[in-house]
């Protein structure tokens, strides 16, 4: 069920006014930004929200400024809640997606031999966190197999593992960092709900790119940054905590005076909301920037964004597919806007540098980022190009032409 919100009352979205959206995005004037999977370009209202708050802090004092803007700060929770279909009480601010993820993991009372069931395409830092839990608590980390066609995790095999191993935690990354693969997180969630298993989703690359509905996904916990496809500032992220998890009393290890009340010298009580996963100190200008970014995305429309953004990536893939020496690496029928490929005759850093020199922002992924996926694909590194809705078809074609030129030089 969708929570009552203005989003649910909106009429079907019109086509995007790309020229207006670009006019709102100062970075469009200086670069072809195809690194939105790294960090999206800030829109003017986001920049303004942050700068205005810093100016207010400078003129009246930091505590006084946050008190004055309390209502706007509250809107961070309302806007994010609207974006992923939950209530504001289910949202906690975090300094990064990884911060949100480790706070969530820290709330699970792992015992030796508990199983964490995950996929072969979960994010590098999540995989390292699971191994750290294995080292400290003796948990077992089990990776569900992939389908043979490279289209992601085999959900039936994963469900069979759920039934057999009764994992303490099921963890899935919606879109990994190292390819455009979209994992079937809602299908996985249906099995978790049926079996009553705790389910954590990393939606870092999908928030701001797709319509995310935590009810439909069926997750207990979900993490994301705000800086990528949501176009918020760096140093920000959030954690969704379901009412189920809150009412069952999960709390992070090292809860602080904001997340809990010190009820008596010997006792503390976690607060009722996801704020129990937050800490007392906040970067308020960043929080306000995130609220503005979420409002901006809602105003642009996630339906329209989720059609245009992967559509631009598909156009780019079509251009690259024709080039000799280029191998596209994104699996699945409808990949996200992370276009990854290897190119013969180039080393990673000089190739990226050559694109930098042409005013094209991109990113590199290395074997270390994706031990399973890159081993399966037999690649050491890949270039990642990640357009967003404010990029143009002309930019897509210019990027494809630049890759073709470099490929000829190889
Ligand atoms: C899928 C995925 N999860 C998590 C993260 C980590 O995000 P952060 O750098 O905000 O901790 C990233 C960053 O690239 C990512 O791509």
pLDDT at 232 over 80: yes
- What pLDDT is recorded for position 31? 98
- 14: in domain: no
- Rounded Cα distance, 234 and 236, in Å: 6
> Could you say which of 299, 329, 347 is where a domain stops?
299
Residue span of the structural domain in which 311 resides: 302-409
Do 175 and 151 belong together in one domain? yes
- Output the domain CATH number for residue 372: 3.90.1150.10
pLDDT at 5 over 80: no
> Could you say which of 249, 282, 299 is where a domain stops?
299
Do 88 and 194 belong together in one domain? yes
Q: Which of 97, 129, 370 has most ligand 1 atoms within 8 Å of CB, for mutation?
A: 97
CB 148 within 8 A of CB 177: no
- Rounded Cα distance, 340 and 334, in Å: 14
Do 257 and 362 belong together in one domain? no
- Rounded Cα distance, 332 and 324, in Å: 22
Our CA dihedral for 398, 399, 400, 404, rounded to 10 degrees, sits at: 100
Do 124 and 267 belong together in one domain? yes
- How many other C-beta atoms are found inside a 10 Å radius of the C-beta of residue 378? 9
Domain count, the chain: 2
- Ligand 1: residues with CB < 6 A are 96-98, 123, 125, 173, 176-177, 202, 204-205, 225, 237
Q: Of 226, 98, 112, 246, give the one whose Cα is nearest residue 168.
A: 112
- 91: in domain: yes
- 21: in domain: no
Q: Which of 181, 224, 225 has most ligand 1 atoms within 8 Å of CB, for mutation?
A: 225
Q: Note the pLDDT tens digit of each residue in 53-86.
A: 999 999 999 999 999 999 999 999 999 999 999 9
What percentage of residues in the chain have a pLDDT greater than 70? 97
Do 187 and 122 belong together in one domain? yes
- 23: in domain: no
- What pLDDT is recorded for position 410? 85
Confidence tier at 193 by pLDDT (50, 70, 90): very high
pLDDT at 206 over 90: yes
- 10: in domain: no
- Rounded Cα distance, 201 and 105, in Å: 11
Ligand 1 centroid–CA 354 distance in Å is 25
What are the angstrom distances between the C-alpha of 103 and each of 95, 138, 251? 11, 19, 9
- What pLDDT is recorded for position 348? 97
pLDDT at 402 over 60: yes
- 338: in domain: yes
Do 99 and 244 belong together in one domain? yes
Do 287 and 312 belong together in one domain? no
- Rounded Cα distance, 282 and 275, in Å: 12
pTM: 0.96
- What pLDDT is recorded for position 178? 95
- What pLDDT is recorded for position 96? 98
What are the angstrom distances between the C-alpha of 293 and each of 8, 75, 236, 289? 19, 11, 11, 6
- What pLDDT is recorded for position 15? 82
- What pLDDT is recorded for position 8? 42
Q: Note the pLDDT tens digit of each residue in 138-172.
A: 999 999 999 999 999 999 999 999 999 999 999 99
CB 186 within 8 A of CB 207: no
Do 265 and 374 belong together in one domain? no
160 Cβ partners below 8 Å, 6+ apart? none
Confidence tier at 6 by pLDDT (50, 70, 90): very low
Ligand 1 centroid–CA 164 distance in Å is 30
Across residues 12-35, what is the average pLDDT? 91
Ligand 1 centroid–CA 58 distance in Å is 32
122 Cβ partners below 8 Å, 6+ apart? 171, 172, 173, 176, 202
Across residues 21-37, what is the average pLDDT? 97
Do 171 and 276 belong together in one domain? yes
Do 159 and 254 belong together in one domain? yes
> Could you say which of 299, 333, 350 is where a domain stops?
299
pLDDT at 403 over 90: yes
Ligand 1 centroid–CA 97 distance in Å is 6
Do 248 and 359 belong together in one domain? no
- Output the domain CATH number for residue 120: 3.40.640.10
- How many other C-beta atoms are found inside a 10 Å radius of the C-beta of residue 96? 20
- 141: in domain: yes
Ligand 1 centroid–CA 98 distance in Å is 6
- 348: in domain: yes
Do 136 and 236 belong together in one domain? yes
Residue in the block written with tokens 């708050």: 53
Q: What is the mean pLDDT of the chain?
A: 96
């Amino acid at each position: 069920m969708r929570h009552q919100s203005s989003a649910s009352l909106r009429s079907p979205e019109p086509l995007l006014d790309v020229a207006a959206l670009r006019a709102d995005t100062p970075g469009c004037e200086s670069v072809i930004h195809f690194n939105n999977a790294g960090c999206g370009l800030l829109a003017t209202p986001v920049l303004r929200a942050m700068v205005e708050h810093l100016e207010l802090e400078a003129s009246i004092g930091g505590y006084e400024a946050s008190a004055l803007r309390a209502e706007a700060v509250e809107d961070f929770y309302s806007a994010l809640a609207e974006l992923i279909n939950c209530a504001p009480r289910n949202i906690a601010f975090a300094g990064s997606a990884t911060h949100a993820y480790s706070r969530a993991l820290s709330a699970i009372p792992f015992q030796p031999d508990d199983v964490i069931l995950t996929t072969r395409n979960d994010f590098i830092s999540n995989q390292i966190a699971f191994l750290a839990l294995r080292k400290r608590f003796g948990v077992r980390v089990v990776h569900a197999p992939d389908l043979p066609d490279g289209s992601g995790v085999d959900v039936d095999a994963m469900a069979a593992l759920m039934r057999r191993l009764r994992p303490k935690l099921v963890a899935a990354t919606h879109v990994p960092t190292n390819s455009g693969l979209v994992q079937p997180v809602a299908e996985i969630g249906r099995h978790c709900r049926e079996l009553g298993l705790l389910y954590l989703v990393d939606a870092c690359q999908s928030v701001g790119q797709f319509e995310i509905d935590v009810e439909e996904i069926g997750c207990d916990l979900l993490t994301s940054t705000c800086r990528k496809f949501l176009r918020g500032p760096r140093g920000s992220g959030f954690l969704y905590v379901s009412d189920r998890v809150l009412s069952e009393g999960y709390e992070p290890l090292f809860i602080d005076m904001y997340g809990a009340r010190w009820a008596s010298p010997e006792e503390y009580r976690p607060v009722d909301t996801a704020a129990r996963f937050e800490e007392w100190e906040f970067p308020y200008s960043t929080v306000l920037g995130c609220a503005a970014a979420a409002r901006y995305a809602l105003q642009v429309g996630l339906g329209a964004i989720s059609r245009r953004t992967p559509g631009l990536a598909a156009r780019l893939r079509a251009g690259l597919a024709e080039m000799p020496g280029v191998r596209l690496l994104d699996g699945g029928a409808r990949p996200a806007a992370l276009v990854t490929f290897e190119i013969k005759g180039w080393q990673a850093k000089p190739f990226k540098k050559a694109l930098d020199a042409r005013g094209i922002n991109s990113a590199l992924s290395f074997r270390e980022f994706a031990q399973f996926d890159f081993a399966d694909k037999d690649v050491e590194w890949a270039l990642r190009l990640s357009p967003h809705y404010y990029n143009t078809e002309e930019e897509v074609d210019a990027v494809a032409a630049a890759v073709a030129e470099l490929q000829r030089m190889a």
